[in-house]
Amino acid sequence: MNPASRLSLLKPSPIRAITDGTPPGAIPLGLGEPTWDLPEVARKALLREPGPCAYVPHVGLLDLRRSVAAFHGAHVDEVLITTGSQGALFSLFQAWVEPGTKVLMPDPGFVAYPALARMAGAEPVPYRLSADRFRLDADELIRVLDATPEASAVILNLPSNPTGGGGDLAALKRVAEACTARGVLLISDEVYRDLHFGTRCPSLRDVTDRGVVTSSVSKGWGAPGLRVGWAVGDPAWLAPARVVHGYAVTGTATPAQWAALALIEHSETILAEARAAVGERWEALAAALRDELGQAVAPPDGTFYHFMALPASAHTDPLAFCLRLRDEAKVVLIPGLAFGEGGRGHARLSFAATPEQLREGVRRLAPYWKN
Ligand SMILES: Cc1ncc(COP(=O)(O)O)c(C=O)c1O
């Protein structure tokens, strides 16, 4: 049996190469998800009053769309509810990325972006982030855009998975203007925006009402398993994406939308608690890195990722180095190379783990950095 030929375009996830085969007792610092409990309001909402568990309109539950719209300062017609922000990205790519065109994406960047572009028949084109802290570098992105006349879409991710780097308002504005001038769809993946350390990254909506913002309850609201996300933008961008999403999955699970509504209605407390949880974990990690490795590290602009510089000797084969960490030190880190060539010298350490796991994890890693 041979799967459809389009599958040959998809490479196996490099993250799986590390996480599959994790030995017992290993500390999972490769996780890309919150480890704290689902907020109580969402748990209760999942078991709402007795009655049918019916389909809701393909575009999403009206009350949920209203609250997402209010959260983003948008009109309800500018909101499409999707199955995670991944559902939004998939649908937007299928709807707007013409086969044979190119999609610009950050390098290092979220592993799904190249696969989403390829599934739409397009070619991923990487743009580098700033050399210092992996932030959005507008000059570099616009340089790549100018060199890519076949570009149909550009994707931004502030703050970034895997680097935690953000970007400033002026850079965002320049990129938005460049995309508008060239008629290229700009998608801003803002799924980590509310997990910050004092200063929230700007949103695309702060600089333009063109382009589309994607986000979800998976990170800030601590509910990745609900699979509720959204796209916010001009209804003309959303309508074709809604058709794709409708045929792919009909709609997002109705109880999950009830729970997402409860989460967003309680955003102020829930997001503040999530930031406190992430802040406490960051403090534990920073202290462990200082005590065990003598490293002084600044917090990322957002996310729960520390993009940790690898020892120079690991740069030729970062995967082999991270496999050794996994199998000998029993700590799982994701090699930065999994996110693109720009990540070769780093590994992604997720500090969504508990403070105890972080302390013990760094203690186990230390000999590999010292020797
Ligand atoms: C940058 C980024 N975007 C999008 C997603 C997709 O998340 P979800 O579909 O749960 O919203 C992830 C998940 O890890 C991510 O890291």
Tens digits of residue pLDDT in 282-322:
999 999 999 999 999 999 999 999 999 999 999 999 999 99
Closest C-alpha to 212, from 194, 197, 196, 190: 190
- Residue 191 Cα to ligand 1 midpoint, Å, equals 6
CB of 113 shorter than 6 A to ligand 1: no
CB of 166 shorter than 6 A to ligand 1: no
CB of 157 shorter than 6 A to ligand 1: yes
The answer to whether residue 126 scores a pLDDT higher than 90 is yes
Binned at pLDDT 50, 70 and 90, residue 84 comes out as very high
Give nearest CA residue, ligand 1 atom 16. 161
Write the DSSP symbol of residue 129: P
The answer to whether residue 162 scores a pLDDT higher than 90 is yes
Question: Which residues does 57 contact at the CB level (< 8 Å), separation at least 6?
Answer: 251
The answer to whether residue 87 scores a pLDDT higher than 90 is yes
Show the domains of the chain with their CATH numbers. Answer: 5-38+269-370 (3.90.1150.10), 48-266 (3.40.640.10)
CB of 161 shorter than 6 A to ligand 1: yes
pLDDT in the model for residue 51 = 87
pLDDT in the model for residue 74 = 97
The answer to whether residue 132 scores a pLDDT higher than 90 is no
Q: Are strands 212-216 and 185-189 parallel, antiparallel or unpaired?
A: parallel
The 10s digit of each residue's pLDDT in 134-148 is: 999 999 999 999 999
The answer to whether residue 31 scores a pLDDT higher than 90 is no
Q: How far apart are CA 316 and CA 335, in angstroms?
A: 12
pLDDT in the model for residue 257 = 97
CB of 106 shorter than 6 A to ligand 1: no
CB of 82 shorter than 6 A to ligand 1: no
Give long-range contacts, CB 8 A cutoff, 24+ apart: 15-21. Answer: 15/111, 15/334, 15/338, 17/319, 17/338, 18/319, 18/322, 18/323, 18/326, 18/332, 18/333, 18/334, 18/335, 18/338, 19/332, 21/326
H helical segments located in 250-266: 254-265
> Which one of 19, 158, 160, 191 would you pick to mutate in the ligand 1 pocket, going by the greatest count of ligand atoms within 8 A of its CB?
191
Give the alpha-carbon dihedral of 160, 223, 221, 332, to 10 degrees. Answer: -40
Look at residue 229 and give its three-state secondary structure: strand
- Residue 291 Cα to ligand 1 midpoint, Å, equals 32
Give nearest CA residue, ligand 1 atom 6. 86
Give nearest CA residue, ligand 1 atom 13. 32
Atom of ligand 1 nearest to the CA of 224: 10
Q: How far apart are CA 346 and CA 305, in angstroms?
A: 12
Cis-peptide, bond into residue 159, ω within 30° of zero: yes
pTM, two decimals, is 0.97
Binned at pLDDT 50, 70 and 90, residue 17 comes out as confident
pLDDT in the model for residue 48 = 82
- Residue 86 Cα to ligand 1 midpoint, Å, equals 6
